[in-house]
Amino acid sequence: MHFYSVRDVERVLHLSRSTIRGLISAGFITPTRGPRREHRFSFHDMIALRAARALIQAKIPRKRIRRSLADLRRHLPETLPLSGLSISAVGDRVVVRDGHGHWQADSGQYLLGLDVSLENGVLRVVEHKPRRNTAPPRPDKDAEDWFAEALELEGVDPPAALAAYERSYTMDPHNVAAWINHGRLLHERGDTREAERIYRRALGECGPDALLLFNLGVLLEDLGKPSAALEAYQTALNENPALADCHYNLARLYESLGKSQHAIRHLGQYRRLLSHDGH
């Protein structure tokens, strides 16, 4: 299976690294890891990334985006056919055409138009911008609007992105992706104490979430709190035992604490999960 790097995603899909991180943190895709812990994106991941961005810009609710992406993944071919793919909105349906037929991915009115092809062995993804938006205008931004705006702002104006994420989860306290991205961005900017406060507020509002707990564990390690980090990682695995990065971090942390047996067990589980994803 061919994999693409973060740099490939930037070049092919014209997405910034911060946007890529935001889409991963929001749970829209789960790329695998390479031997140096770098993100590796499959053909399906590439299409899902671009589709997720287009659907966010069309102001589609996250639950419908997740459902659409899941259906998209189930029906995409393992490799790109020579005829290429066309992913578009037809009436109220998303349709994928590969030159041999088409199928419905999801129902609901939204705008999406992607052409995917190989040119001289290079993946090419082109998004067709709609000429007009048939959806009625909304006078005020809602939580999804603020979340989409925050994703756009991360790479150019991080303080404004932080404010937009806060507006998003203030309007919808159960918007766990906005909490996660807010905390992650604070952590990246070195504001670790505030990031911890945001993560713990998010747990109070949203309850245990695997990715939220994983990010909290990473932060607690950086704050020099290994015992608290272990607890966060273990709780994350209770929510999602298939979170490979969590097993890796636990293996590394247990090894540093001299608990080799625990480290070996989690490292083995990490490798099994990676092997499964690679197939």
- pTM of the full predicted structure? 0.63
pLDDT, tens digit, 9 for 90 and up, residues 135-152: 444 557 888 889 888 888
Give the class (CATH, top level) of 171-278: mainly alpha
Name the maximum alpha-carbon separation found in the chain: 61
Residue predicted with more confidence, 43 or 179: 179
- Alpha helices by DSSP H, listed for the chain, are 6-13, 17-25, 43-57, 62-75, 143-153, 158-171, 176-188, 192-206, 210-222, 226-239, 244-256, 260-278
Residue predicted with more confidence, 258 or 88: 258
Residue predicted with more confidence, 165 or 62: 165
pLDDT, tens digit, 9 for 90 and up, residues 90-127: 444 455 665 444 444 444 444 456 666 656 555 666 66
Instruction: Tell me if domain 6-127 and domain 171-278 are identical in fold.
Output: no
Domain spanning 6-127, CATH architecture: Orthogonal Bundle (1.10)
Per-domain boundaries in the chain: 6-127, 171-278
